[in-house]
Structure formats: C-alpha cells, structure tokens
Structure 1
C-alpha cells in the first residue's frame, strides 16, 4: 500500500508562506487534505489559504508563528497535540551568508533555533500524538549537504545532518506503531532562502538548481513509495544504499571494552 492511499486527512506545514512549504500546501490540498499553515508572514499565509480554498475546497487554518520564539513554538506544539492533525511537514528553515566565522552570535542562535530546536520539538509532539493514535506521517526537510559537510557552510549543513539523524532515529523508534517518517534531502532549490540569507542562487550553474515544483513532486513520489530517505536530485541511489549498508554493518563495532590496536602504545 502506498502512503498516498493511506494519506492523512490534515497536514500542518511549517514555513508554508512560500517556496517548498507553499508548494507542499498546494499539492496536499489538491489531494483533498485539510491544512494548517504555519509561517511568520500572516499576509502571505492568508493569500495562499484563500487561493487554495477557492481552487480545492479544502478547509485551511492559518497559524502565524515565528518558530524561533518560545511562545510561538509552544502554540504550534499544542496545535499538533490537539489530535486532529495527522501529517506534519517540518519545512521551516534558514541559511547563513558565509559560515561559522562570518556569522554573528545572534545569527547562530537563530539558525539553531529554527533548523534544529523547532523541528525537534514539533516532531516530538507529532510523534507522540500520532503514535498514541496509531497513525500519522512526519516529513522532515533536510538537505543533501548533510552528506557533504566539507562543502559550503558547515553550520547549515550541520543543522541538516541533525535533521537526517533525527529522522532516521524516529523511523527506527516508530516502526510498527503506525507512524511513517520521511526525510527529504533537496539539493540547491530555487526558493527565497537564498535571497533571505544574502546568497545568489543564480551564481550556481543552472544544471545544479532544481525548481521547487520539481522538488516537491519528486518528494511526494518518494512519500507514496514509503521511502524513509528521499533524495530527489540523486539519479542513481545505489551509492547511498551502499553507504547505508556499510554504516549499518559498522554499528556493532563502534563500542567495545578495549581500544583498537592502532591506538595502543608501541
């Protein structure tokens, strides 16, 4: 059975006012799902909600929130815990201009709050609620940079590596409890995150940048297939599967009562 045929009936989407989040809202509304749209920009949320209501007839709730603020994050957590939401799309995120040595303390605090703390707390609330009901889905938006820490900004890629780690752990923990967890790893995608962080997506070769419609449509194909990790730009997933196989084979060897011989004194 595909994820589509057992699709939840109401999705809460963070970062829903533009880009990936707004495209998920469009696609899920066209699948007949009611929506709870979360983002800072209430005006944009309202415009999107009005359009999707007119085009699809689904019920849409607008929930303006800044997920870097404790009070707002708690409101969204409580909304998930009410029990009628059955799909979480953990999409809200930000990037930095430059890296660790270029960012201010406030920038570093904000990116960790939005890219790590917020999705963790929302995933925890959704996971507990869905597991108690025995049904639900969590989609976490990561990045291919989680697999390439040497590239670009290690802070951003580090937050996305965390999202990948969290998602894979949740998949293992929630297996058999009716909760499906998917992590999506986009490559460079044409969204407003570039402009907001002061970066220029047009500086990249066009063949490296995916359109947001292409990205979300591919991610939903992965969702329907029940993929726990979906990498839309990866043409052949054999290297990723091989890497995963090696990692899993190494797991029993990672904790022993003696240091490896290569670390013992001569």
Structure 2
C-alpha cells in the first residue's frame, strides 16, 4: 500500500500536534486511527473530522505507559494492513530540574517518550518491510541538541528519538520504508500546561498549525530530519558532517596520545 492511500495511526491525537496531524491528513483524504487517553476529546475530534472531510475515523483510547494498552496498539499496527503511516507523537514534557524529579515522573517520561515510541515502531516495521512501503514519523525536539536548557531527562529522551530515527533510516530506507524525525522547538500545545510550565513565559512560541504544515512539507520531500524552526538549513549539514568527521578520527586499537601515561 502506498502512502497516498494509507490509513494513518496517530498517537497523542486528542490535542496539539497529534490533533493537527489528524486534521491535515483528513484534509488529504486519509482514513485515521486516533490514539490517546482522553476519550472525550478523541470523540469530539472524530465527529468533526468525519463531518468535514467524509473520511473514516476510528478512536482507539489507550494510555501508552500501561503495558496492556500499549499491547493493544502494537497488535493493531502488526495486523492491520491498511495502516501505512505511523505518527509517533505521544509524549510528555519535563517540569522542574533533575533533582526535583520523582522516580515515578522519570519512569513515566522514559516509558512514553522512548519505550512506547520504540515498541510501536518495532510493531509496524516488519510489516512495512514485507510490503516494501510505509512511513514512520517520530516527533522529537530541538532540546535533543541543548543540554544547556536544563531539561536533562526530557532532552535525553528526544536525543534518543533522533538517534533511533537515524538508525531506522539506515536499516529500513533501502527496503522501501520512510522514516522522518520532526524536531520542533517550543510549540503552542497542552504539553506545557500538563507539565506545569507556563508557555507564556517563553520568549518565542510557534503555532501548532505552522509546525505541522512545515513538518508535512518535509514529509512530502522525504526528509530524514525536519527542523521547522531552523532557518539556516546548512547548520544541520555542518553538524552532521562534523559528527562523521569525528567518527573518522576514532581509531579503537589504541588510546589517543593525550591519554597515554
């Protein structure tokens, strides 16, 4: 199944980036499977999309930090051959510094932002490879580049998302599967409020529609890394080239001269 006819499964679909992806794919004529915890919001969104765009929309309520709910979504991705696009959007932000985090908050952040995202991609990838088509979109963050921001756990999860997406591209692109990592900066969504952060204290915030429209332009261009707020695209090219240069200077048979006693 080619992407232009595919059903799109979107996690974190009840509001913000996920709901906007649902709107944009509905405009493109895609049927949808919407995954989130908030059944009331999902139902309201579903009714609007069905009425406005005459598409099929299925609600799949799930808390992806709960193993049983995650299993339901995994099974759907494995077994529903109509689903050809996965938007891995569900995620949590971090409130407070590292020393203010509780074990439960750290566990929830890691579970949703990394484990659930990875398992959903792993559930659908074998079927995509078998069909020779399909797309996985992972929503990361520019915080992945910025330990200076003081969001150590959140930033680490988004660095994981970036690395995973790059690795999956290496493994899957030659087999017909497209992988995209989308890295927003601050975007006007409910994510901040749920984390206890006042978004109005941030100096610059992108509107969610602008973010998703830019991400979808990158999707249509088949970009691996899409960074909507990056205004000088060559910055990313320079960073990636520096990384590859660093790897070329690693010679693992001996320690570098500066470490020899």
Gaps of 5+ in 1: none
Give the corresponding residue for 1:107. Answer: 105
Quick one: distance in 2 between partners of 1:241 and 1:121? Answer: 29
Give the corresponding residue for 2:157. Answer: 159
Moved more, 187-196 or 150-159: 150-159
Give the corresponding residue for 1:222. Answer: 218
Gaps of 5+ in 2: none
* Cα shift readout 1:76-118 (whole Å, capped 9, x = no counterpart): 0000001221000000000121122101111011000100100
Give the 5 Å matches for 1:166-177.
166-177=164-175
Quick one: distance in 1 between partners of 2:112 and 2:97? Answer: 17
1:13–1:21 CA contact under 8 A, matched in 2: yes
Q: Report SS of the residue matched to 1:240.
A: helix
Q: 2:55 aligns with which of 32, 35, 58?
A: 58
The alpha-carbon deviation at position 156 of structure 1 amounts to: 0.4
1:16–1:38 CA contact under 8 A, matched in 2: yes
Give the corresponding residue for 2:121. Answer: 123
Q: Report SS of the residue matched to 1:7.
A: helix
Q: Which runs of 4+ in 1 moved over 2 A?
A: 5-8, 249-255
2:3–2:133 CA contact under 8 A, matched in 1: no
Q: Report SS of the residue matched to 1:61.
A: strand
What is the count of residue pairs matched by the alignment?
Answer: 259
1:8–1:137 CA contact under 8 A, matched in 2: no
Give the corresponding residue for 1:97. Answer: 95
Q: Does 1:46 align with 2:49?
A: no
Quick one: distance in 2 between partners of 1:169 and 1:99? Answer: 30
Give the 5 Å matches for 1:1-266.
6-82=3-79, 83-205=81-203, 208-265=204-261
The alpha-carbon deviation at position 124 of structure 1 amounts to: 0.8
1:8–1:136 CA contact under 8 A, matched in 2: no
Aligned-pair Cα RMSD in Å? 1.1
